[in-house]
Amino acid sequence: MRQLSANIVLVGFMGTGKSAVGRVIAQKLEFHFIDTDDVIEQTSKAKISDIFAEHGEDYFRDLESQAVKSVALMKNQVVATGGGVVLRSSNIDLLRTGGPIFCLNATPKAIWDRVRSSRSRPLLRGPEPLKKIEILLDKRAPYYALADHQIETTGVSVDRVADEIISYIE
């Protein structure tokens, strides 16, 4: 395993490629890959969509903050976060202590094309999901702007995005 004694943190809206890119980076650098959504599902023994349905978004965000605390100070990991992790500044502060934060970006249409077949996106349930993506992206833009680096993923291969991120840290 390569020793950088830091994490690589990926934030961004759902469907921007955080998990796919994170896995490739982890493989290339021989890091561990961890997805905070997976941590939440493992510790709560429930699917995220069920957590939203049964307990609401605020409860989920509390679980998300707990997941961030559990992974933030580990080393040599690629951490993919949920799209709303940036909504709490304490999450970003903790994640930044572990390493640089990269925000993956994509157009609303590209995001919708990537997630439209998924049934596990609770924030996109209901009418006009593309419009909802646009609204949520606008609302979260100031939070995503706090990342150390912005990486565009629309029309770019997962490998190329991963290589771009690796080039920043080498």
Separation of alpha carbons 101 and 11, rounded Å: 7
CATH 3.30.470.20 matches 8-169: no
Task: Using only the alpha carbons of the chain, give its radius of gyration.
Answer: 15
**Residue 93 pLDDT > 80:** yes
What is the percent of the chain with per-residue pLDDT over 70, rounded to a whole number? 94
Q: What is the mean pLDDT of the chain?
A: 91
For the chain, the structural domain boundaries read 8-169
DSSP string, 76-97: SEEEE--TTGGGSHHHHHHHHH
3-state SS assignment for residue 154: coil
What's the pTM value of the predicted model, to 2 decimals? 0.92
